[in-house]
Structure 1
Amino acid sequence: MLGRAYSIFDTAIGRCGIAWSQSGIVGVQLPEAREIDTRRRLFQLYPEARETRPTPNVDVAIEGIVALLRGEAADLADITLDMSGIHAFDQRTYQVTRRIPRGQTVTYSEIASRMGTPSSVRPVTQAIGRNPFVVIVPCHRVLEAGSYTDKMSAHGGLISKRRLLSIEGTGSPASKTLLDVLLPVAPPRLPH
């Protein structure tokens, strides 16, 4: 296979898309209102990609995404990502974000601290907003401290963080108090 390719696949929340290169996954697209809109978004993001059958790595990614969107536990940690062309700071942000366990959330500030750059909350927030690997890099598990806004990622289609967290059984983030967000009962601990 030369260049990039993509595939559309069924999930419990609608038809998703995934794009890849020889080096790994380059992006995931959650469903738009209509499948044609999902395809259009993939074309805008990856105009050189051609629709084709998934490779074994992509099949594993699709199976994991499908399971996760069905509410099942799925380990997506071994999915190979192609981060060529992604700024080094964003890559580090995605590596840290990828370690957030299912059922747990952290704040942008916590991600910045875990990266060893506690003053970089704004760049972390921007990197999360650009995350092309939605679900595989679980940006929906990263929330604002003290408030919860029902944001959708750039590649999130019509699916919000709130809905993804609900599917994972995290509970309703909207019902969390400020103390719940700042002092979770079992704070996640990730290696630095």
Structure 2
Amino acid sequence: MHYGIAHSALGWALAVWSEQGLRSVDLSDQKEQLLHWIKERFPTQNISPADGQDAELLKKIVTVLENPETPLDHPLALEGTAFQKRVWQALQSIPPGQTITYSELATHLGEPKAVRAVANACGANQLAVIVPCHRVVRSDGGLGGYRWGIERKQALLNREAKLAAIVS
């Protein structure tokens, strides 16, 4: 496995990938925290810093972080339950600038009573922005939680709303 760290408009970004695909994308205000997360999340894995040929992948990931309407043409190595993977797949179909509630997403998946499970799947998402769990909000319009900080979630939604307004 390999990792790369780069600065983006959302702060520091850490990407971890293997031959199977992109495993995680994390965001932080502190680069050191990301290095700690690598050791914490992948304690038994041999993970090396990206070399020159991987620089292009890291650049593409940062481009998606800064421009979420840009598709990432790299496989994702999603690790989770079958239900979580269904949630993450559904999230990828929500266009930038739009939101959905946890309840609406559960209903869309044919599991209207699984609102809490949908929220838990969003919380378990390992791919910040790439799997856009930030586009899921509470039924009362509140932001709910966000693994990478509620302020970052609000900034993402604001930025995407501005982009959507320009496009339409």
> Could you state the TM-score of these two structures normalised by the residue count of structure 1?
0.73
* Structure 2: tracts of 5 or more residues without a match: 164-168
* Structure 1: tracts of 5 or more residues without a match: 172-192
1:21-170 correspondence runs (5 A): 21-31=18-28, 33-47=29-43, 48=45, 49-53=47-51, 59-60=56-57, 62-71=58-67, 73-76=69-72, 78-84=73-79, 86-149=80-143, 151-153=145-147, 156=148, 160-169=152-161
Q: Aligned partners of 1:6 and 1:67: how far apart in 2?
A: 16
Q: Aligned AA for 1:79?
A: H
Q: Aligned partners of 1:70 and 1:83: how far apart in 2?
A: 21
Q: Aligned AA for 1:133?
A: L
- 1:151 offset after TM fit, Å? 2.7
Q: Aligned AA for 1:83?
A: L
Query: Which has the larger helix fraction?
Result: 2
- 1:114 offset after TM fit, Å? 1.5
Q: Does 1:6 align with 2:3?
A: yes
Share of identical aligned residues, percent?
Answer: 32
- 1:157 offset after TM fit, Å? 5.8
Q: Aligned AA for 2:77?
A: D
What is the alpha-carbon root mean square deviation over aligned residues?
2.4
- Tell me which stretches of 4 or more aligned residues in structure 1 moved more than 4 Å: none
**Count of aligned residue pairs for this structure pair:** 161
> Could you state the TM-score of these two structures normalised by the residue count of structure 2?
0.83
Q: Is the 8 A contact 1:104 1:170 kept in 2?
A: no
- 1:159 offset after TM fit, Å? 5.3
